[in-house]
Amino acid sequence: MYIAIIIISFSGALAAFILYFFSKKFEVKEDQRIVLVREALPGANCGGCGYPGCGGFADACVKATSLDGLSCPVGVDTMKTIASILGMTADETIQKIAVVRCNGTIEVRPRITVYDGVKSCAIMALLFSGDTGCSYGCLGWGDCVKACLFEAIDINPDTGLPEVSEEKCTACRACEKACPKNIIEMRKKTSDSCRIYVSCVNRDKGGIARKACKNACIGCGKCVKTCDFSAITLSENIAYIAEAKCTLCRKCVSVCPTGAILVRNQGSGVRDQDVGAYPCGRPIINY
């Protein structure tokens, strides 16, 4: 019996030594810079950078010869810290925020049918175009809300539309990816939180779009003609404002006959003609 115990003990010790030997021989040593970069990241693992979590992004940064094209949307000064760790330079991060390009509230976009299925925008979009006359607008079941890790978006019960929190949104793009109607996009977050955009994606012709939603863009082109900076284009019956060219002069807002162009300031959408004060703290500029 003692011999058996000795043999088993010796075999166990030998196996342990062999495992230890091979674990050291084939050990993959992690670059310490990856550890430092990973620690500098916010740890949200939101995927907004385009990589599988903060670990994947850290690995990509260390292996890259330049930080151009690499950006963490969650951390404000994160890229500067990473650049100092790696001895590189990083472009200044342009902060962005999610905007919802649909202004079809319950009042202006009445329901024409009743949906009695799973409360999911993605599933509803697979089954049919929606329960209103507009087949392009928000479905209102909150897939974007569920996708947001930062609780930065909620469905307003009065309007039936998602609203984005100015303070909480990190531009991780999770809500944008979750929306089956592609009505959420990232826009530049200016110092005074002013954004101007066409809050409609309906590509139907004017009369059809207006019948489905009173706030729809009807493709009249008045905003295009008014813009002195060629910032607005008209394609497939829908206007679009390029933020790179837009000077926030807001002349387009006042000429839009349906109010489809919104001025968004600190989470509130307003039209110039509806307020006495300047929505963005700026007067309308006439060139």
User: pLDDT for 10-60, tens place per residue?
Assistant: 677 777 777 766 666 665 566 788 889 998 888 888 888 888 889 899 999
**Residues forming CATH 1.10.15 domain(s) in the chain:** 32-86
User: pLDDT for 52-62, tens place per residue?
Assistant: 889 899 999 99
Q: Reply yes or no on whether the pLDDT at 276 is more than 60.
A: no
Say which CATH architecture domain 32-86 belongs to: Orthogonal Bundle (1.10)
Q: Length of the chain in residues, anyone?
A: 287
CATH C-level class of 96-274: alpha beta
Q: Which residues pair with 198 in a beta bridge?
A: 261
pTM, full prediction? 0.76
**Residues forming CATH 3.30.70.20 domain(s) in the chain:** 96-274
Q: How many of the other CB atoms lie within 10 Å of CB of 199?
A: 22
Gap between the Cα atoms of 261 and 255, Å rounded: 9
User: pLDDT for 148-206, tens place per residue?
Assistant: 999 999 999 999 999 999 889 988 899 999 999 999 999 988 766 688 999 999 999 99
Gap between the Cα atoms of 217 and 137, Å rounded: 12
Phi and psi dihedrals of 236, rounded to 5? Answer: 55, 45
Q: Which letter does DSSP use for residue 137 in this model? A: S
User: Lowest-confidence range among 11-25, 112-126, 129-143, 187-201?
Assistant: 11-25
Residue 37 in contact with residue 75, Cβ under 8 Å?
Answer: no
Gap between the Cα atoms of 130 and 140, Å rounded: 10
